[in-house]
Amino acid sequence: MNSLHLRKNLHEHWLRRITAAAAALVFTGTAATTWADALYIITGAEKQAIVLDGNSTADFSSKLINVTKRSRGSEIYLSAGQTVNIHHNGAMLSARARKESISSLLKRLHIEPSPIEMVSVDLSHGVTLTVASDITYYDTVVEEVDAPVLRVPNARMAAGTETVVQEGQGGIRTSVYEVIWSNGVQLSRQFVEELDTTAVPRIVEYGTCVQSVSPEDTLVDVVTEADGSGTLHFASGATMTFSAARNMTATAYTAGHDGVGTRTATGTTVRKGVVAVDRKVIPLGTRMFVVANGGIVYGSAVAEDTGIIGNKVDLYHDTYNECIQFGRRGCTVYILE
């Protein structure tokens, strides 16, 4: 096919699409709102979005468009020679504007909106018109705001307590909102982000430090300070503080084997979380958190039993099979504060 035939076929195809769209719109055209009363949304002009709903006024002008207040509403006029891209019914076409209104341009192109359709005028890159019943755009506004509240966790402060470390002050911020219109009605206006602000936040520290965590809570991080102390961080957000971390050897024991009864050296009942220690190495009553090599987290425990000599801990388990599975392995014992 030569280029002449190709251009002719493309031209005929485009005319058919415009004619079909116009024919479909003629059916609702008699009920359509007059253009002076139509809803226009102007965006992308480096200022707050402007919504012209037939009653509002707008102080707006640029090299591309001019907004004029008329007896039946506002109208938008295009600069002569301006290239305009139009999106409607899934199709896109470009046209060269005369010194005319947007409504005149669309009528000249046989585009007539239905009663529920709106016109979005995007000035981000030239002029782009979108005629649709659903329109989403982003609005940048400068607004007064109260002092925001910033809550910061403090791993060494007791859970349930909090303190204000900085008083806040309101100010001016530049904000971006996502705005959704449908059928001529604004459905939602959602805050998206803050670009800048003069407001000073009110900073509140709240404690996350607890005495114990549930067995289901997962240890996710260990932060160690220069003096050997530190904090254990758990998936729940809870923390536990330790004064020291010791590398030791861990074994396992249970009642009914090797002469072990049901009572500890301190008179308590044996259970998961009881640890036998050498009291010269770790004093009885010491709270600890034990992590064994091989990814085994024994968890929170208390030194309540004896019978161990040296740098070792014997961890109580509920069954003999658990003891066999655990065996003998290295571990880190975090001495809790």
CATH 2.20.230 fits 139-208, yes or no: yes
Strand duo 134-145 + 50-52: pairing: unpaired
Alpha-carbon gap, residue 105 to 242, rounded angstroms: 74
**Rounded to two decimals, what is the model's pTM?**
0.64
pLDDT at position 71 is 59
Most distant CA pair in the chain, distance:
103
Cα three-residue angle 168-170-173, rounded to 5 degrees: 120
* Contacts of residue 325, Cβ cutoff 8 Å, sequence gap at least 6: none
Mean pLDDT by 10 residues, the chain (337 residues): 38 35 27 49 77 62 74 78 92 92 91 87 90 91 95 97 97 94 90 95 98 93 96 97 97 93 94 96 97 95 96 97 96 97
Question: If we measure between CA atoms, which residue out of 108, 127, 106 comes closest to residue 117?
Answer: 106
Q: 14-46 burial, b if ≥16 CB within 10 A, otherwise e?
A: eeeeeeebeeebeeeeeebbebbebbbbbbbbe
Helix (H, G, I), strand (E, B) or coil at 307: coil
pLDDT at position 68 is 74
Domain ranges of the chain: 3-132, 139-208, 214-336
Question: Are the beta carbons of 80 and 89 closer than 8 angstroms?
Answer: no
Sign, Cα dihedral of 277, 278, 279, 282: negative
Alpha-carbon gap, residue 90 to 128, rounded angstroms: 14
Phi, psi of 315 (to 5 degrees): -100, 125
Domains 139-208 and 214-336 share a fold: no
pLDDT at position 336 is 97
- The one-character DSSP state at 328 is S
Alpha-carbon gap, residue 306 to 303, rounded angstroms: 8
pLDDT at position 73 is 64
- The phi-psi region of residue 312 (left if phi > 0; otherwise alpha if psi is between -120 and 50; otherwise beta) is beta
Tokens 């253009």, residue located: 35
Alpha-carbon gap, residue 218 to 236, rounded angstroms: 8
pLDDT at position 75 is 79
pLDDT at position 324 is 96
First-to-last CA distance in the chain?
A: 86
User: Hey, what CATH class is 214-336 in?
Assistant: mainly beta
Cα three-residue angle 301-256-286, rounded to 5 degrees: 20
pLDDT at position 183 is 87
pLDDT at position 8 is 38
For the chain, what's the residue count?
Answer: 337
* DSSP run (H or E) holding 322: helix 320-326
pLDDT at position 2 is 41
pLDDT at position 337 is 92
